[in-house]
Structure 1
Amino acid sequence: MHPQTNKVPENAIAVIGMDCRFPGANDTRQFWKNLVSGTESITFFTDDELRGAGIHPETIADPTYVRAAGIMEDAELFDAAFFGYTPTEAICIDPQQCQFLQTCWHALEDAGYNPYTYPGAVAVFGGTRLSTYYVNYMCADLADYGTARFMQGHIGTDRDHLCTRVSYKLNLRGPAFNLQCACSTSLVSVHLACQSLLNGECDMALAGASGIDIPQEHGHFYQEGMIFSPDGHCRPYDAQAEGIVSGNGVGVVLLKRLEDALRDRDDIHAVILGTAINNDGNSKVAYSAPSLEGQSEVIAEALGVSGVDPATIAYVEGHGTGTYLGDPLEVEALNRIYSRNNPARGYCALGSVKSNVGHLEVAAGVASLIKAILSIKHARIAPTCHFNSPNPRIDFASTPFFVNKTAIDWPQGFSPRRAAVSSFGVGGTNAHLILEEAPQRESSRSAGAVANPLMVVSARSEKALKELAGRYGEFLAGQDADGLDLADFCHTTQEGREHHAVRLAVVGESLEELRSGLDAAMTHEEWTTTNTGDEHRPVFLFTGQGAQRSG
């Protein structure tokens, strides 16, 4: 519902969970800290690092070789046992697919849903890059093994199995399929997830993408007029913009029909009011070139579907490749639509996450979406890195847009906070999406619910339990817990989490008491756990007649 009118927008979709791992950030909290501080998370490699990754010495010595990329930390780490894989099976799976599976799990946990007990149908939509893990590591090994190992390697690295793997491992029964449309893949997956929900094909939907090169430590060759940057920095909309730098990452959002999310009292991060996708056709100079007509049409369609006046949108997270030709065309397409019957100028911020983490290719759209959602949630608009003066081919003064160099507050206006997200793929598949802030909701206590002061935490091992308890303590001590409802919080730990063998319970009448209880448990020398694994299953013995007699 609109925060001001309490009216539920028609065909709106709630974002109720999300998770990401991007350069410099292993979760959404760190991602937001990096964004709002204007942090660029690009790594510049040494000769030794490049040699260790197998880069040829002649390549390293080439003066046009730019040794930079956005690195995703610990991309090779995967909790195989947690998902029921043996080490032999896990080594046959592309890290892109491993990280997508883990991120889907975390997105469900963020929403407070246990996939093994949720009764509805959950869909999965996503995509990956070409598997460089298969090319660089698996091909030679598979030649020495038989048909069974070859099949394992094929299933573990082929794109076709990304989403169905998640459905199988998490017991999800909604539609599950991959899509591939280059840079717009993940935002198109969000569009398809929204359509699946509106068509009644599922009750919730996971959507996103995973793009990770193995090894990650590699650069690119610069050639004037091509898309790659000469110095490893991406400068969207700036006069010095000369191209992109590649990045690695994975991001997933969990979606639900807004009316269902309100009924189920879900924690709503933001609301998707409308989405649209199209293709340029051949109305452009080359296959990989952008199209003014294609971009304008998809923007107009998304606004039409959402029923939103563009004058009420205060932020656009652009595609923003930072190229001399692409940026002006993108702004012209936006201006053509956002200026219709709208004389206002310079009121709408325009930015691009590529200045922070590089171009994540298939995962670029979901990175932009998560950034826009976080901007709405925190009521702040993060700066675009490296923006000093505008591209001379962009006349911002005649458009509704401006690029902010520093973080700015986003005050509440007459309408809800609204943002838009663009993602355009090589080959011409374009996507545009309209977001709105989440509606205000009544707390459980004020709605008559009784607060349950019992918080439960569980994990597969004592070490993992201590780490998880520590993260809960950090959360409760941080600003993210401001305004958190005790009843909702404890209910989620009890009902919205899978309960594992090693467990801890804390009782408290307030969030502060829960945090203190966790701190005490963390520092207690005799850590107490209850192991409820298979080896300690209860057994009931019904003896029948004669039990009252000895022997």
Structure 2
Amino acid sequence: MSEAFRGQDSAIAVVGVSCRLPRAAGPAGFWALLRDGLDGISSTPADRWGVAAVDSGSPALGAGYGGYLSGVDQFDAGFFGISPREAAAVDPQQRLTLELGWEALEDAGVVPERVRGNRVGVFIGANKDDYATVARRRGVEGITEHSTTGLQRGMIANRVSYVFGLTGPSITVDTAQSSSLVAVHLACESLRRGECSSAIVGGVVLNLSAEAAVELSRFGALSPDGRCFTFDARANGFVRGEGGAVVVLKPLGQALADGDHVYCVIRGSAVNHDGVSEGLTVPSASAQEEVIRFAHERAGVQAADIQYVELHGTGTKVGDPIEAAALGAAVGRPRRAHGPLRVGSVKTNIGHLEGAAGIAGLLKVVLAIYHRQIPASLNFRQASPWVRLEEQNLQVQTQTAGWPEPGRPLVAGVSSFGMGGANCHVVVSEVTDPEVAEGVRLGGPVGSAPWALPLSARSARALGEQAMRLRAFVTEQLELSVPDVAWTLATARSVFAHRAVVVTADVDGLLAGLQDLAGLQDPAGLQDLAGLRDVDASSVVRGVAAGAAG
């Protein structure tokens, strides 16, 4: 492994994550779905299209499967300072991206209000605007003063920058299915050039119109079985998915200096185009091979360093063999001495998110590195005779397991290819220096209990709901320490008008206090802070801890 790989000058840290994906309301739920080998595919909700099926013979509507989110029409407009009238005209993709951006900043330990006016970039991949189709069904009577800003796809990133008050680059990227991974590439380059100090990066797609489903059906892209059979002999198209994911990126050196929690590191990336191929939508194996090699060069890695690649992996008869040949030439065959290269596709779990597919694949790899396990790629029984896995030295990961060579740095690739020929590949790794990695994983204060854990919300009901969500999270993460939770709540969360604090010495007490708060009761361990509008919550934590110690 080259010295370039070990340097921090060009490495970009992933310091925060968020997602809303089929059967996965957040990163913890997404990891559970992946780890347990489940999928989020279901029947299409009866009311999803909002119109009668316009083509009863279409496999897209006849099969009736997809990866769907629930409650896509729900949005707390007041939380983001948007009027109900304007919110009704705003594409739910804009609304979902606002929510994901807020959650990702919080996961990064960043209070959104504190970055207002800062040079933070926003890069969002999106290639669909179904809500515009739905809105225009109402004719000119449905057009309002908010339609222009509500329906333009370019406003997805701009809306985040405006609401959060961010002054860095603000770009909605559309390179078809590779949009969100190209957004990651552009964000990393912007960070390296110093155009922004950190970046909110992701992708979003919501499947809201019957017309879009019919388009894909008539194009011949959809599987009549409603599943993605990546690299399998049954491969016959993909099933559609929807949702979004966002990561917060920062130069590694700055992240370490700031004491940030680092999930993993983006070492390098590359983009290119197929040029002339056998058709506008026919991939080029040579171009895919080239973009992978160029990404390796930028990252300072060799084929032997790569232990896993998250495929574009749509499960199509044309695309799968071409991708396998390109990956075999660039990585699989050159690393034969280290055993077969493990590969998989998140599309088998959640469907093809098109413009948001790349960020979903990246998030899968981020979590796989963080948890030091590679999840199974589903729906694989027998390789397609055209994929030739053994010849290419590739092996589909069919069970969740540890990394093949856990004693070596965990390094993976992520591929995303647009149907028009725009290709992107990203190289991701763990933080390699043992001391740095240990320092990153440790965090927050240490000391004696009891600790004060403050919560706040814009309403009493929201305060109770937040307590329920936190309780569910703590229940699944019982290894968390109370001081760490207290420190995060006190220093990395916004402060709103409705407030409460749970004072406890241990996890059991925290769970009990959150249960009481969820029921809006008034137990002895719960103190109302609603009147302390200007209080610094971190000083409350330090004060309680000091009192306990004294």
Q: Could you tell me the TM-score, scaled by structure 1's length?
A: 0.87
- Kept after mapping to 2: 8 A contact 1:127/1:159: no
Paired position in structure 1 for 2:35 = 36
After superposition, residues 90-489 of structure 1 pair within 5 angstroms as: 90-118=87-115, 120-138=118-136, 140=138, 143-144=140-141, 150-215=144-209, 220=214, 226-282=220-276, 284-339=277-332, 341-344=334-337, 346-410=339-403, 413-438=406-431, 439-442=436-439, 453-479=451-477, 482=479, 484=480, 486-489=482-485
CA distance in 2, matches of 1:507, 1:6: 45
Deviation at 1:38, TM superposition (A): 1.9
CA distance in 1, matches of 2:261, 2:56: 49
Pair 127,338 (structure 1): closer, same or farther in 2 beyond 3 Å: closer
Paired position in structure 1 for 2:496 = 500
Paired position in structure 1 for 2:540 = none
Deviation at 1:220, TM superposition (A): 4.7
What whole-Å deviation, never above 9, does each CA across 1:54-105 have from its counterpart, x for those lacking one?
1337x23557843222212211111101001111010010101111111111
CA distance in 2, matches of 1:446, 1:125: 29
Pair 200,451 (structure 1): closer, same or farther in 2 beyond 3 Å: farther
Q: Does 1:526 align with 2:519?
A: no
Pair 461,182 (structure 1): closer, same or farther in 2 beyond 3 Å: same
Higher helix share: 2
- Kept after mapping to 2: 8 A contact 1:345/1:401: no
- Kept after mapping to 2: 8 A contact 1:351/1:384: yes
CA distance in 2, matches of 1:416, 1:80: 44
Task: Choose 429-438 or 111-120, whichever is displaced more.
Answer: 111-120
Paired position in structure 2 for 1:23 = 22
CA distance in 2, matches of 1:380, 1:529: 42
Deviation at 1:496, TM superposition (A): 1.1
Paired position in structure 2 for 1:544 = none
Q: Which has the larger radius of gyration?
A: 1
Query: How many residues end up aligned between the 2 structures?
Result: 523
Deviation at 1:399, TM superposition (A): 2.8
CA distance in 1, matches of 2:346, 2:442: 39
- Kept after mapping to 2: 8 A contact 1:67/1:219: no
What whole-Å deviation, never above 9, does each CA across 1:7-56 have from its counterpart, x for those lacking one?
5544111101111111121111111111122222222248x557x73133
CA distance in 1, matches of 2:207, 2:127: 8
CA distance in 2, matches of 1:15, 1:505: 30
- Kept after mapping to 1: 8 A contact 2:321/2:386: yes
Pair 261,409 (structure 1): closer, same or farther in 2 beyond 3 Å: same
Pair 313,150 (structure 1): closer, same or farther in 2 beyond 3 Å: same
- Kept after mapping to 2: 8 A contact 1:272/1:434: yes
Deviation at 1:509, TM superposition (A): 4.2
Partner of 1:465, secondary structure, is helix
Q: Does 1:490 align with 2:486?
A: yes
- Kept after mapping to 2: 8 A contact 1:234/1:322: yes
Deviation at 1:341, TM superposition (A): 4.5
Paired position in structure 2 for 1:539 = none
- Kept after mapping to 2: 8 A contact 1:368/1:421: yes
Percent sequence identity over aligned pairs: 35
- Kept after mapping to 2: 8 A contact 1:275/1:302: yes
Deviation at 1:476, TM superposition (A): 2.2
- Kept after mapping to 2: 8 A contact 1:234/1:321: yes
AA in 1 matched with 2:406: G
Pair 74,49 (structure 1): closer, same or farther in 2 beyond 3 Å: closer
CA distance in 2, matches of 1:446, 1:182: 40
Pair 327,444 (structure 1): closer, same or farther in 2 beyond 3 Å: closer
Task: Mark the runs of 5 or more structure 2 residues left unpaired by the alignment.
Answer: 536-550
CA distance in 1, matches of 2:399, 2:391: 22
- Kept after mapping to 2: 8 A contact 1:344/1:400: no
CA distance in 2, matches of 1:55, 1:530: 52
Q: Does 1:87 align with 2:84?
A: yes
Partner of 2:378, secondary structure, is coil
Q: Does 1:54 align with 2:47?
A: no
What whole-Å deviation, never above 9, does each CA across 1:414-456 have from its counterpart, x for those lacking one?
3221111000001111110111124523389999976793321
- Kept after mapping to 2: 8 A contact 1:445/1:451: no
Cα RMSD for the two superposed structures: 3.0
Paired position in structure 2 for 1:69 = 66
AA in 2 matched with 1:269: Y
- Kept after mapping to 2: 8 A contact 1:19/1:251: yes
Pair 451,319 (structure 1): closer, same or farther in 2 beyond 3 Å: farther
Pair 231,498 (structure 1): closer, same or farther in 2 beyond 3 Å: same
CA distance in 2, matches of 1:276, 1:54: 42
Deviation at 1:473, TM superposition (A): 2.1
Partner of 2:335, secondary structure, is coil
CA distance in 1, matches of 2:126, 2:442: 43
Deviation at 1:163, TM superposition (A): 0.9
What whole-Å deviation, never above 9, does each CA across 1:196-249 have from its counterpart, x for those lacking one?
111111111011111112247985589799322122111000011011111111
Partner of 2:494, secondary structure, is coil
CA distance in 1, matches of 2:267, 2:255: 14
What whole-Å deviation, never above 9, does each CA across 1:372-424 have from its counterpart, x for those lacking one?
11111112111111100001112222333201222222266332211110000
CA distance in 1, matches of 2:211, 2:138: 21
Q: Could you tell me the TM-score, scaled by structure 2's length?
A: 0.88
Partner of 1:101, secondary structure, is helix
CA distance in 2, matches of 1:256, 1:337: 29
Partner of 1:137, secondary structure, is helix
Task: Choose 329-338 or 442-451, whichever is displaced more.
Answer: 442-451
Pair 476,332 (structure 1): closer, same or farther in 2 beyond 3 Å: same
Task: Choose 60-69 or 316-325, whichever is displaced more.
Answer: 60-69
CA distance in 1, matches of 2:507, 2:5: 29
